[in-house]
Amino acid sequence: MQDGNFRVDGLAGLSGEGISQFAAEVVTRLVGRGAASAVTLREPLLARFYAAVRSHDPMAFEAFKPDLRRARVSFEVLADVYIPEVARRLGQDWEADRVSFAEVTIGTARLQAILRDIGANWQADGRIGQGRASILLVVPTGEQHSLGALVAAGWLRRKGISVCLRMGLQPAEAGDLLAARRFDAAMISVACHERLELCAKLVKTLKDASQNTLRVAVGGAIVGQGGELATIPEADIVTNDLSEAVEVLGLLRMRASTAGIT
């Protein structure tokens, strides 16, 4: 594992909001079944990571970093497998009243800070040249979660896909964004039933603004809750498997075609 300079800044990136949706959001692993099945989680290492994330000691993760290096856990595996699993367990323990509000807040903020730090160079967005598909990744307004979207954005960027992440996006803003920028596809993350109607409006706006050419995927914690996703009939796919979504949206095929690869 390469040595990175991790910066964990207390509650940066969360500010206490979103805890009411946290347990519902983290139980959904947005990186798809493929990444998880390819790596065997090491339970002792995972337990130490979980303890470091929950700790009130701001240096706990720094002390844990040598364990990750010795275990040769890459940044990619940390982002795609270990962080989602720690988040899932943190959510489970919160629902079961085994962890406090403060521990959930601190733990979520640390996971987000770690993701931002290790993903600093995963920026397909800023590279010059042809051959990259682009995607609009949306967390609708009123949805108070971001960890899953950050995991998804990092995964997509490592695939060479340019990601425009928009938090709290309204349908009207989505229409304006499409008028100003071109995207090959869009993904929307939804965690709660109350936002289904808004999600449906977003999908319709994206379809209308693109004259029905933009393919749209819907995912998020709501998918695993038996939500009435049939109320979003215009979505091209509803899934929490990013690999499947990317395939249906044709993003990797677009990338190969644009680059002249057959």
* The last residue of a domain, from among 118, 153, 174: 118
| Residue 74 clears pLDDT 70, i.e. is over it | yes
Close Cβ partners of 120 (under 8 Å, ≥ 6 residues apart): none
92 and 200 part of one domain: no
**Residue 56 is assigned to a structural domain of this protein:** yes
248 and 172 part of one domain: yes
* The last residue of a domain, from among 118, 135, 150: 118
Range of the domain at 199: 124-258
| Residue 238 clears pLDDT 50, i.e. is over it | yes
129 and 161 part of one domain: yes
Tell me what the pLDDT averaged over the chain comes to: 76
Which pLDDT tens digit goes with each residue over 177-214? Answer: 999 999 999 999 887 778 888 889 999 999 999 999 99
**Residue 4 is assigned to a structural domain of this protein:** no
Residues 42 and 9: their CA atoms lie apart, in Å, by 27
At 185, list the tokens.
Answer: 């596809």
| Residue 6 clears pLDDT 70, i.e. is over it | no
**Residue 10 is assigned to a structural domain of this protein:** no
**Residue 5 is assigned to a structural domain of this protein:** no
Cβ atoms within 10 Å, residue 114: 24
Residues 235 and 203: their CA atoms lie apart, in Å, by 7
**Residue 253 is assigned to a structural domain of this protein:** yes
Amino acid at 182: R
**Residue 80 is assigned to a structural domain of this protein:** yes
Residues 189 and 167: their CA atoms lie apart, in Å, by 10
33 and 102 part of one domain: yes
73 and 129 part of one domain: no
pLDDT of 228: 60
193: DSSP letter: G
* The last residue of a domain, from among 90, 118, 146: 118
State the total domains in the chain.
Answer: 2
Cβ atoms within 10 Å, residue 92: 14
183 and 244 part of one domain: yes
What average pLDDT does range 27-51 have in this prediction? Answer: 67
- Give the gyration radius of the chain's Cα atoms: 18
What is the pTM (predicted TM-score) of this model? 0.70
Task: Using a pLDDT cut of 70, give the percent of the chain over it.
Answer: 73
| Residue 50 clears pLDDT 90, i.e. is over it | yes
140 and 229 part of one domain: yes
Distances (CA, A) of 101 to 22, 54, 86, 242: 11, 11, 16, 30
142 closest CA partner among 91, 186, 198: 198
Q: According to the 3-state scheme, what is the secondary structure of 30-96?
A: CEHHHHHHHCCCCHHHHHHHHHHHHCCCCCHHHHHHHHHHHCCCCHHHHHHHHHHHHHHHHHHHHHC
**Residue 196 is assigned to a structural domain of this protein:** yes
- Torsion angle, alpha carbons of 152, 44, 113, 216, to 10: 10
